[in-house]
């Protein structure tokens, strides 16, 4: 399963805003610098999040971006949909058997369920116990 940079950076941006929820607003530039990505690219992603009504912006000296809803009301699926992320767990093959297709569907459904039911609050409230980027079975 691969998640594009749009999905990753969009989720990172939303996580930062979730951590800062109700405390302060953040600029795209400051978050882009933290993550080490282009602020122009992140701005394109944020525009998608804004169109989906997940974030709002305020202009001025104390302006910036903030979540439009509490972190427990925004799911990973909401973020991925907003930025056009399409996660494919397994590509089907014409030679897959009925049994294999059953397994691939179960894997797809499991991933979909996790994404649909994991909120930003769930993500920011987890202890920082993982230090690997890749998880292997």
Residue 28 buriedness (CB in 10 A; 0-12 / 13-18 / 19+): buried
pLDDT tens across the length of the chain (137 residues): 678 899 999 999 999 999 999 999 999 999 999 999 999 999 999 999 999 999 999 998 888 999 999 999 999 999 999 999 887 767 778 888 999 989 988 988 898 899 999 999 999 998 766 555 555 55
Give how far the C-alpha of residue 97 lies from the chain's centroid of Cα atoms, to the nearest Å: 33
Q: Are 77 and 119 in contact (CB under 8 A)?
A: no
Strand intervals (E) in the chain: 55-58, 64-67
- Grouping H, G, I as helix, E, B as strand and the rest as coil, residue 23 is coil
All structural domains of the chain: 5-124 (1.10.10.10)
Give the tokens for residue 49. Answer: 């999040």
């Amino acid at each position: 399963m691969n998640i594009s940079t749009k999905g990753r950076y969009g989720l990172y941006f939303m996580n930062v805003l979730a951590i800062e929820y109700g405390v302060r607003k953040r600029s795209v530039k400051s978050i882009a610098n933290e993550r080490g990505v282009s602020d122009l690219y992140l701005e394109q992603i944020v525009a998608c999040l804004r169109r989906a009504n997940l974030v709002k912006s305020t202009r001025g000296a104390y302006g910036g971006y903030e979540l439009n809803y509490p972190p427990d009301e925004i799911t990973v699926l909401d973020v991925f949909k907003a930025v056009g992320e399409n996660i494919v767990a397994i590509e089907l093959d014409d030679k897959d058997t009925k049994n294999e297709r059953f397994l691939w569907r179960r894997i797809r459904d499991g991933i979909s369920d996790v994404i649909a039911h994991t909120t930003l609050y769930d993500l920011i409230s987890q202890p920082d116990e993982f230090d690997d980027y890749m998880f292997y079975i």
